[in-house]
Homo-oligomer: A and B are copies of this chain.
Amino acid sequence: MTLEQEQKQEQEQEHAALRESVAAFFSTGADWGRLTGELGLTALAIGEDHGGFGASLVEVGIVLEEAGAALLHSPLLSTTVAALALDPDLPAAASLLPALAAGDLIGAVALDGSCTARPDGDGFVLDGSFAHVLDAESAGVVIVSDGTALYAVTDPDIRPQPTLDQTRGQGTLVLWQAPGRLVARDAARAQDLLHAALAAESVGVARASLRVTVEHLRTREQFGVPLATFQALRHRVADLHVHLEQAVSSVWYALRAAGTSEFATAAPLAKLIATEAAWTVTRASIQLLGGIGFTWEHDAHRFLKRATANRLLAGDPVALRRLLLSRAGL
């Protein structure tokens, strides 16, 4: 084994350990305080200078994937994306990072809408509105885009919205002469990060949904034999596995492309592929589970609803394909 291979294997083992410990934590229903304080999940990708661990997007992706698999009801994705979108070289951004890393401040990102930013003294005055701000209800800071740069708005005026996916809240944000501080000069990166995060999470959703489906097929009998022996169902499951594997690969690539120019195509591509996989798997899951998958008690519909939300939010498949076409220069 070469040195390169050894290092790679070591890293894979570390990732597996991270995945396992995070999944175990999520399964206990640990609250925000423990997720951030004890496990330091929001600190993961924040630099060590700012109270974080300085891990890469790869580790963040593992955590978000497991959060998706657990249908975690917490503002982890939004806070993580908010923190990653900040440019630590800007003082206003740097000042937010320690609280985000510690989990004392919950962040959200507002990209679906528009606003104008007018300089005002040290900061800016923002006017506009945004819809579908994820985890907005609990956010102490919202990172908003005026199409060019990103601004931090603290104590935002949020109107919570009831959602189809009850495992994740949403809100609308109205900015009326709201004070904001410049926290990044590249607004597009926030969307790329959100795409990558939703993609990673969707892989988790797809994987967990497929897992319970497979478990059902292996144990439940019909016509006197396990459902898992019916070739039509076997082939369907094989196709779902292929979808999932493709999604895993596209997310794998996107997470590793962070920081390169390819991220601008790899992230929306991963979002497209992973949310389509989750959508396909979770719909098929309800079919394969039969009646039980239609009940409120079974998790199948919660996976479906999260997959549906992740697919339609932050750019639906048609919009993403259009974006890719333009970014690919076709």
Residues of chain B within 8 A of A230, CB atoms compared: 231
Q: Is the interface of A mostly helix, strand, loop or mixed?
A: helix
The residue on B at minimum CB distance from A236 is B232
The residue on B at minimum CB distance from A238 is B232
The tally of residues in A whose CB lies under 8 Å from a CB in B reads 5
The residue on B at minimum CB distance from A234 is B232
Distance to closest chain B CB from A105 (angstroms): 50
Distance to closest chain B CB from A128 (angstroms): 35
CA distance A234 to B231 in the complex (A): 10
A 289-322 binary contact with B (CB < 8 Å = 1; else 0): 0000000000000000000000000000000000
Distance to closest chain B CB from A240 (angstroms): 14
CB under 8 Å from chain B, chain A span 190-241: 230-232, 234-235
Residues of chain B within 8 A of A231, CB atoms compared: 230-232
Distance to closest chain B CB from A227 (angstroms): 12
CA distance A234 to B235 in the complex (A): 12
Residues of chain B within 8 A of A235, CB atoms compared: 232
The residue on B at minimum CB distance from A233 is B231
CB under 8 Å from chain B, chain A span 227-270: 230-232, 234-235
CA distance A257 to B3 in the complex (A): 76
CA distance A215 to B232 in the complex (A): 20
Residues of chain B within 8 A of A232, CB atoms compared: 231-232, 234-235
CA distance A230 to B231 in the complex (A): 7
CA distance A235 to B231 in the complex (A): 10
CA distance A38 to B67 in the complex (A): 75
Residues of chain B within 8 A of A234, CB atoms compared: 232
CA distance A234 to B234 in the complex (A): 13
CA distance A232 to B236 in the complex (A): 9
CA distance A232 to B238 in the complex (A): 12
CA distance A230 to B229 in the complex (A): 11
CA distance A231 to B232 in the complex (A): 5
Distance to closest chain B CB from A222 (angstroms): 12
Distance to closest chain B CB from A192 (angstroms): 32
Please give me the 6 A-B residue pairs with the lowest Cβ-Cβ distance, nearest first. A231-B231, A232-B235, A231-B232, A232-B232, A230-B231, A232-B234
Q: List 6 A–B pairs whose Cβ atoms lie within 8 Å, in order of A's numbering.
A: A230-B231, A231-B231, A231-B232, A232-B232, A232-B234, A232-B235
